Structures are given as structure tokens and as C-alpha cells.
Structure 1
Amino acid sequence: MEFVKEFVTFLHQKEIIKFGDFTLASGKSSSYYVDLRLVPSYPHEFRMMVKYLENQITEDIGLENFESIVSVPTGGLVIASALAIETVKPLIYVRSKPKDYGTSKSVEGKIHESMRVVMIDDVATTGGSVVNAIKSLTEVNVPVKDAYVIVDRMEGATEALKELGVKMHSILNILQITEILYEQKLINVEILDKVKKQISK
């Protein structure tokens, strides 16, 4: 739990999480924005985050119980690459759309039927990009049972993945983040309430 508090404080200090009015990729408006693509610019914290993720996966499912790590560009792929190096596991990734030259495939890397994989992404909102990736993997007979994200925005991703038979695990969710920041008097009650309201929508 100590890491979680320190990490949340770090996210706030470095403005990796910002509060205000933002428009998300989906077009939805949000009272906060999480940009985990900034984390690799801080190698010490980045490594701690990847190590924490590795420990979490080891505890939950065991490193011996899957063959490869799979991710989606770009945010998740940076984290997955570092995790693949730490765990000495093969890495595959799923393009958002197949490339229109060469082999024109959407899944990159060495795959075989029924291989066991773990999906990694950075932030989950509705789960759209991961859902699409899981569908692409299913088409090539690579089933996904578990997906890990660093931050769950709690806006439907867990439910969307559950419908596909995938369990979503997160290191942090937005409620935890805002409650930790509020306890440390780094944000006010108004911000906390705005985030709670957004989740309950």
C-alpha cells in the first residue's frame, strides 16, 4: 500500500493526473485527465510501477500460468515492453487497424493457437481499445482471460471485458487516487465530489 500512496502523490506532483475540464479521445468530457505516457520520463518511478505490476500478476495468476504478454499501442505497449523485459516473457501487440502494406496483419509477434496471454494497458475508460484487441486475438484463436491496467477510470471497462469472459485487474482506480489525494489535502472536496459524480454516471 505504501507504493500506491507514493505513486499517487507522484502522479499529482508531476501533473500526470490533472483536474479541470478535459475532452477525452471518445469525445466525452471529464473532470480529470490521466496521462500515463509521462511516467517513462521518470525511470525510477516507471520501474517501480512495472515491478509493482509484475508482483500483482505473480500473486493473482502466477507468471508460469501464461506464455506471452500482449498489449495495444501506444500507452500500454511501453508498459508491456518493460514488463516483458522484467519477466523475460515474449511480447505481442495488436494494432488498432491492420497495416495496409506487407503482411497486413493486425496481431504482431509470434503466436500460436490457444496460447495463454495476459493483456496490458495503461488506462481503462470504457475498455474500447482493449475490447477490440481481444476480438482481434480471438479471431486468431488466442484467448484472453486476464487484462491488467494501471488506472481504471471506472466508466464501464470492467463490465465490457466481463462480457467477453475477461477479468480486468487494476493497480489503481480513480476513486482510490482522488481519495488518497484528498486525505493528503492535495485536492479539495469539490474535486473529489466531481470525480465521484462522474463515476456514478
Structure 2
Amino acid sequence: MHWKKTFIDFCFKKKALKFGTFILKSGRTSPYFFNSGLLSSGKDISKIGLFYAHAIINSKIEFDLLFGPAYKGIPIAVATSIALKNHYNLDIPYAFNRKENKKYGEKGNLIGNKIQNKKIIILDDVITSGIAINHSIKIIKEKSAHVSSIFVLLDRKEKRKKSLYNVDYLKNEKKYAINSIITIKDLLNYLLESNKLKKHIPELEKYREKYGLEK
């Protein structure tokens, strides 16, 4: 739990983790919110890259390339690539997508290293409904590449829509393993140890009872 606690401490210090009432991209009303966009200094993104690099190495997953979904996944992929080189001497290429196809110059919707036939790790900040991750999986499959794993800072462990590819949980086309720095369960364990923050536990438990995969 120590390194997870270090990450949560960091997020609270930077006010990237907040409690209140928030409307998510999925349309759900959540009592907590994680905004990785606030981790936007050179020092912050270096720390984030290092968290990912450690997690990837510890997972022992085979991979050739890092993929960062537009937009928040882009700086994550770059920072992780740098951290892997600086701390593990691994020179790993990265790629990311545009929101729209470019119709001039190099054209297309991908930037960076070619992903064809590569073993790819998708890096994103949070997974809630799985919509953004699903889009990335489709892009990778269309290029005849393989998704080795998905890494996120926070896995909210919530039910996905049935129309999505199976992202670790749903019985659908295929399973894609999710690795996360923390989950909602880690956050709840952290709150239990804080007299100041444990007041938020009832609302988080109520939300998890409605949308969570784990009770």
C-alpha cells in the first residue's frame, strides 16, 4: 500500500483528487473526481511517468510500444517513455491518435512510431465507462496490432456498457487486462486511515453500490 499511498498523497496535494458532485463523461453523477490535467508541471509529469514505468516493469508484460489516447494519454505516453529510458535504459517508442483525421501532409489519425504488428500498452489517466479505451482498442486492432495491456492511474472499477469491447470485465469479444496505480478500493482504504477524510466514505460506498463491480 505504501507506493499507492504515496500516489494518493501526491494527488491530494496537487488537488487532482476532489470530493463533491461531478458529472462524468459517462453521464453518471460521482461524489469524487480525478483530474490528471492538474498534474501539468514538468515535475508532476515526470513523477507520473515514473509511476507508470515502475508499474509496467513490475508487471513483466511483454510490449514494443506505448500508445497514448488523445488527449490526456499523450503526455502520459511521452513521460513514461522518458522514464523507461532514464530509469531502466529501455528505449521504447510511443504513438498517439488525433481526434480527427488529418487530410494533408502525412495525413491519417496517428502520430509517432508505426504501430503495425506491435505489442502495445495503452496508457490513459482514468477508466470509468471504458469509452475512450474502447476507441483506442479499435484503432490498434485496425492496424493489425496487439493490445498487451492497459495502464491507468485510477481504475474506478465501474460497470461498462455492453456495446464496448471487454475491458477486463465484460463477457464480450475479448479480455484486455487493466493495470492501475490505484483503484476505488485503494482510495477507500486510504480514507479509512484519515480522520479528516473518512467522512466521504458513505457517499463513495453508496456510489460503488450503484455502479461498482466490487461490493
Q: Does 1:60 align with 2:66?
A: no
TM-score, with normalisation over the residues of structure 1? 0.86
Q: Deviations over 1:43-95 (max 9, x none)?
A: 1x543332232122112125xx2211111122121111101112221110123
Q: Does 1:36 align with 2:42?
A: no
Aligned letter for 1:18? K
Aligned length: 197
2:150–2:176 CA contact under 8 A, matched in 1: yes
Match of 2:138 in 1: 135
1:96–1:129 CA contact under 8 A, matched in 2: no
Which of 171, 183, 187 lines up with 2:193 in the alignment?
A: 183
Aligned CA-pair RMSD: 2.3
Q: Taking every aligned residue pair, what percent have the same amino acid on both sides?
A: 25
1:16–1:38 CA contact under 8 A, matched in 2: yes
C-alpha change, 1:150 and 1:36, in structure 2 (3 Å) is same
Deviation at 1:148, TM superposition (A): 0.3
TM-score, with normalisation over the residues of structure 2? 0.81
Deviation at 1:41, TM superposition (A): 2.6
Bigger share in helix:
1
Which of 94, 98, 101 lines up with 2:97 in the alignment?
A: 94
Deviation at 1:101, TM superposition (A): 4.3
Aligned letter for 2:136? A
Deviation at 1:196, TM superposition (A): 1.8
1:105-116 to structure 2, matched below 5 A, reads: 105-116=108-119
2:26–2:129 CA contact under 8 A, matched in 1: no
Unaligned runs of 5+ in 1: none
Deviation at 1:38, TM superposition (A): 1.2
Aligned letter for 1:97? E
